[in-house]
Amino acid sequence: MEDKGCSREEVLSFLAGLRAEDLHHDHILSSMCTIPHPIAVAVHEMFSATNLGDPGLYPGTTKVEDLLIHSLGELMHLPDAGGYSTSGGTESNLQAIRIAKKLKPEAKKPNIVVPASAHFSFDKTCDMLGLEMRIVPYGTNYTVDTEKMAEMVDKNTIAVAAVAGTTEYGMIDDVPAVARIAEEQDCFCHVDAAFGGFVIPFLENPPLFDFAVPGVDSISLDPHKMGLATIPCGSLLLRDPEVFGCLNVDTPYLTVKKQCTLAGTRPGADVAGAYAVIKHLGREGFRALVAGCMENTRRLVAGMEACGYCRVVDPIMNVAAFTGGDAPAGWTVSHTRAGHLRFVIMPHVTRDVIECFLADVAAMQA
Ligand SMILES: Cc1ncc(COP(=O)(O)O)c(C=O)c1O
């Protein structure tokens, strides 16, 4: 830090220069985040000074968090679900597994059993909590092989996880089958719907993946992905709100006596922004948003196949993967662990962007 500060103009101009170095959204084809909705940005600023970590100081903002959690619970078929807003899917997955560990203290060498598709946040979780991570191979269509999963659980299994909207292929595990395994083994069942939670409910004929499935104990669901919220905004939902109590620590000098969240200070700005988007768009708005992303995904698949790429799966969400070749220069795509070219067709990946990209693919091959 320098001794003397700079003018506002100087600071803003310096930062604008660095911001200009960032890639433009219209060439980012593999991110699970997108441009936040303008109402989220406006509300974010309105709530920028709030801290949900000390709720007694911000009763209004705390009510907004309650409203957000209630809306997300409704979306997941359990309006009375407990929950709080996290920094994203990583924290939600970590906290869910922390809870699972607390609930099964008798597990001497605790393990969790997760699909091969599991996000790397589970690796971090196991590292932090000292857990063995058992990885279940893929069965059909890049979803978890539930027969193998049933064979891999044992009395030391504290949790099984299913992914509803896998990071790499956008697939949805057989959540009812995973929940049955958890019930049989008497362990916790966590559904990672960090990405899919804002997509699957708005698809035509969505599969069961949420609290409508008996035995699902917790769900990760991120407004900062397909919920168009400002970053960072995730959420962890629990079927039984009381269970959060197992994470409580005493907080003697705050306006509340106990805290179960991972972070102490927590932003209210992104939470209020996320709620604003939900209130503003409603189910109708999200249905239209998801329908648009799906239409664009289908266009991308058709265009890529016309250029000789092969789809790896039939997309059921707005994620597509292909074998064969690379993407043209200037476009950001990613690769799955198996080396497939991976796209996430977020709302910023419009039809025009896709046509432009496909034209570059065709030119690259000419
Ligand atoms: C299925 C899934 N779970 C968890 C995460 C981690 O979310 P975050 O990066 O918000 O911590 C991601 C990120 O893409 C994800 O796709």
Q: What is the SS3 assignment for 134?
A: strand
| Domains, the chain, with CATH or none | 8-37+283-365 (3.90.1150.10), 39-278 (3.40.640.10)
pLDDT per position as a tens digit, 173-201: 999 999 999 999 999 999 999 999 999 99
Number of Cβ within 10 Å of residue 207's Cβ equals 15
Shortest-distance atom of ligand 1 to CA 117: 1
Name the band, by pLDDT with cuts 50, 70 and 90, for residue 366.
Answer: confident
pLDDT at residue 235, as a whole number:
98
Unique residue bearing structure tokens 């992914």: 163
Name the band, by pLDDT with cuts 50, 70 and 90, for residue 325.
Answer: confident
- The number of CA neighbours under 13 Å toward the Cβ of 230 is 19
Cα–Cα distance between 86 and 218 in angstroms, integer?
14
Residue to mutate, 30, 32, 33, 219, ligand 1, most ligand atoms under 8 Å from C-beta: 32
Q: Which two tokens stand for residue 69?
A: 């959690």
Mean pLDDT, residues 268-292: 98
Mean pLDDT, residues 31-46: 98
Q: How far is the CA of 176 from the centre of ligand 1 (A)?
A: 22
pLDDT per position as a tens digit, 207-251: 999 999 999 999 999 999 999 999 999 999 999 999 999 999 999
Unique residue bearing structure tokens 């619970």: 73
Residue to mutate, 222, 236, 270, ligand 1, most ligand atoms under 8 Å from C-beta: 222
Q: How far is the CA of 232 from the centre of ligand 1 (A)?
A: 11
Q: What is the SS3 assignment for 160?
A: strand
Listed range (104-118, 199-213, 228-242, 314-328) with the worst mean pLDDT? 314-328
Mean pLDDT, residues 85-93: 98
Residues 6+ apart with CB under 8 A from 77: 210, 211, 212
Mean pLDDT, residues 293-318: 97
Instruction: Specify whether the CB–CB gap between 311 and 322 falls below 8 A.
Output: yes
Q: Which two tokens stand for residue 84?
A: 């709080």
pLDDT greater than 90 at residue 349? yes
Pocket of ligand 1 (CB under 6 A): 32, 88-90, 93, 119, 121, 163, 167, 192, 194-195, 222, 234
Share of the chain above pLDDT 70, in %: 100
Q: How far is the CA of 73 from the centre of ligand 1 (A)?
A: 19
Q: Which two tokens stand for residue 161?
A: 């996880």
pLDDT at residue 259, as a whole number:
97
Name the band, by pLDDT with cuts 50, 70 and 90, for residue 8.
Answer: very high
Name the band, by pLDDT with cuts 50, 70 and 90, for residue 308.
Answer: very high
pLDDT greater than 90 at residue 326? no
Mean pLDDT, residues 298-319: 97
pLDDT per position as a tens digit, 134-166: 999 999 999 999 999 999 999 999 999 999 999
At 136, the amino acid letter reads V
Q: How far is the CA of 190 from the centre of ligand 1 (A)?
A: 14
Q: How far is the CA of 353 from the centre of ligand 1 (A)?
A: 24
pLDDT greater than 80 at residue 365? yes
pLDDT at residue 251, as a whole number:
95
Name the band, by pLDDT with cuts 50, 70 and 90, for residue 324.
Answer: confident
Shortest-distance atom of ligand 1 to CA 196: 1
Residues 6+ apart with CB under 8 A from 348: 25, 26, 28, 34, 35
Share of the chain above pLDDT 90, in %: 98
pLDDT greater than 90 at residue 18? yes
Q: How far is the CA of 89 from the centre of ligand 1 (A)?
A: 4
pLDDT greater than 90 at residue 277? yes
Strand ranges inside 41-131, DSSP E: 82-86, 111-115
Mean pLDDT, residues 333-357: 97
Residues 6+ apart with CB under 8 A from 326: 341
Sign of the C-alpha dihedral computed for residues 286, 340, 140 and 167 taken in this order: negative
pLDDT greater than 80 at residue 114? yes
Name the band, by pLDDT with cuts 50, 70 and 90, for residue 304.
Answer: very high
pLDDT at residue 191, as a whole number:
99
Mean pLDDT across the chain, nearest whole number? 97
Instruction: Specify whether the CB–CB gap between 47 and 273 falls below 8 A.
Output: yes
